[in-house]
Amino acid sequence: MFYRENGQFKTSYKADQQAFAIPQDRWAIVAIVAFAFIGVPLLVDEYMFRAILVPFLILSLAALGVNILVGYCGQITLGAGASMAVGAYASYNFLIRVDGMPALAAILLGGLMAAAAGIVFGAPSLRVRGLYLAVATLAAQFFWDWAFLRIKWFTNNSSSGSVSVADINLLGWTINTPTDKYLFCLGILVAFSVMAKNLLRGNMGRQWMAIRDMDVAATVIGIRPMYAKLTAFAVSSFYLGVAGALWGMVNLGSWEPAAFSIDRSLQLLFMVIIGGMGAISGSFFGAAFIVILPIFLNQMLPLVGTLFGLDVSTALVSHVEFIIFGSLIVFFLIVEPHGIARLWATGREKLRLWPFPH
């Protein structure tokens, strides 16, 4: 009823090629972004910002980066955490070694360094595919883990291998309160999402998808696999690098290589698989699922316990949390292997016919 496209005629190519061709979608997105910028800071408290929203935004950005590579170009990676680490440590070094370096420039330069590293470690993708490639990207993870743990120069000779930065500054705006951090991350996430959306609709995104669907056929129609694959690695690593820099400098403030361990890589891959491969919204759904659900379960279970008059111990809560979280992952993978984004798409299709289905 509300989601009808009947009667919406596109009279120009421009109208037909918009990012969101259906006005309802367009307005919904604008409304969500406006709400995120204006409504959320008025509504939520510090706990929400610091413990849930900022990590959610940054990991969404990282999941978007992984989705570009895994979901759109079909190259599996287990080195996502490494790209984040490169971004974080590179921007840290730019910030402390170059006098007067603006924080935003340091973050973007960190992203570029991660992109460069991504190209190098993406090179095996030209020869190997699938699981073998996943194993090859694991090399990136272990190499960078090792480098940041052992090479003192990267950590500015810190005795324990952990580094820290002061509050970052953007054109006179010191980002120190939780609201500032949230808005800063949100701004970057929106800008990068718009960029991704356009990149994926354009020439480059189509090349990636062609490679993903069948690389031999793509080569036959004139797509250079080397160019397509390496650009996918570069763009994906750039996103991950920026996310890593934000994770370190905005979310944590001080960090160690363990913040970007293999666990992080797997977590990001799960986000993309559960959220939906090859869908930008999937990155957000996946990040929400992985970041918010465990915390929610952890807080909900004691309440449920008191409802039934039980005193739930912290250890039990933690065990039950793992059980429920794990079974939900299995449930989603069985019921909808294409991820939450596909569920969302299905729901939308139904909504178009509602309330008069065939």
Partner 1 sequence: MKLRKLAVAASIAVMGLSAAALSTPAFAQAKGKAAATSGQEQFFPLLVYRTGAYAPNGVPWANGFLDYLKLTNARGGVNGVKMIWEECETGYATDRGVECYERLKGKHGGATAVQPLSTGITFALTEKAPVDKVPVVTAGYGRSESQDGSVFGWNFPLIGTYWMGADVLVQHIAKKEGGFDKLKGKKITLVYHDSPYGKEPIALLQERAKMHGFDLSLLPVAHPGVEQKATWLQIRQNKPDYVFLWGWGVMNSTSLKEAQATGYPREKMYGIWWAGAEPDVKDVGDGAKGYSALAMQHGAEPNSKVVKEILEKLHAKGQGTGPKEEVGQVLYMRGLISSMLSVEGVRKAQERYGKGKRITGEQMRWGLENLDLDQKALDGMGLGGVMRPVKTSCLDHMGSAWARIHTWDGKKWNFSSDWYQGDEKVLRPMVIATAGKYAEEKKIVRRTADDCKK
Nearest residue (CB) to partner 1, 22 versus 51: 51
- Which span sits near partner 1 by CB under 8 A: 5-13, 61-69, 99-107, 346-354? 346-354
CB of 292 to partner 1, least distance (A): 5
| Distance (Å, whole) CA 279 – CA 191 | 17
Q: Which of 29, 149, 195, 333 binds partner 1 (CB under 8 A)?
A: 149
Q: Which of 8, 17, 198, 313 binds partner 1 (CB under 8 A)?
A: 313
Give the containing element (helix H, strand E) for 273. Answer: helix 262-275
Interface size with partner 1, residues (CB under 8 A): 53
CB of 301 to partner 1, least distance (A): 11
Distance set, CA 322 to CA 124, 269, 283, 297, 301 (Å)? 36, 18, 22, 9, 12
Q: Which of 6, 11, 12, 159 binds partner 1 (CB under 8 A)?
A: 159
Using CB under 8 A as the binding rule, whether residue 44 contacts partner 1 is answered as yes
Q: Are 240 and 110 in contact (CB under 8 A)?
A: no
- Which span sits near partner 1 by CB under 8 A: 40-48, 109-117, 120-128, 186-194? 40-48
Instruction: Draw the binding track, 177-196, toward partner 1 (x: CB under 8 A; -: no contact).
Output: --------------------
Beta strands of 211-338 (E only): which ranges?
A: 254-255
- Between CA 32 and CA 201, with CA 190 as vertex, the angle to 5 degrees is 100
Half-sphere exposure at residue 87, Cβ-oriented, CA atoms within 13 angstroms: 38
Instruction: Draw the binding track, 283-312, toward partner 1 (x: CB under 8 A; -: no contact).
Output: -----xx--xx-xx-xxx--x---------
Using CB under 8 A as the binding rule, whether residue 332 contacts partner 1 is answered as yes
- Which span sits near partner 1 by CB under 8 A: 31-39, 107-115, 189-197, 341-349? 341-349
Instruction: Draw the binding track, 65-104, toward partner 1 (x: CB under 8 A; -: no contact).
Output: -------------------------------x--------
Distance set, CA 4 to CA 23, 25, 236, 351 (Å)? 10, 11, 35, 8
Q: Tell me the CA end-to-end span of the chain in Å, nearest whole number.
A: 14
Q: Are 134 and 61 in contact (CB under 8 A)?
A: no
| Distance (Å, whole) CA 296 – CA 154 | 37
Distance set, CA 41 to CA 7, 176, 231 (Å)? 38, 15, 37
Using CB under 8 A as the binding rule, whether residue 161 contacts partner 1 is answered as yes
Q: Are 111 and 241 in contact (CB under 8 A)?
A: yes
Residues making contact with partner 1 (CB under 8 A) = 44-48, 50-52, 55, 96, 149, 159-162, 164-166, 176, 252-256, 258-259, 288-289, 292-293, 295-296, 298-300, 303, 313-315, 317-319, 328, 331-332, 335-336, 340, 343-344, 346-347, 350
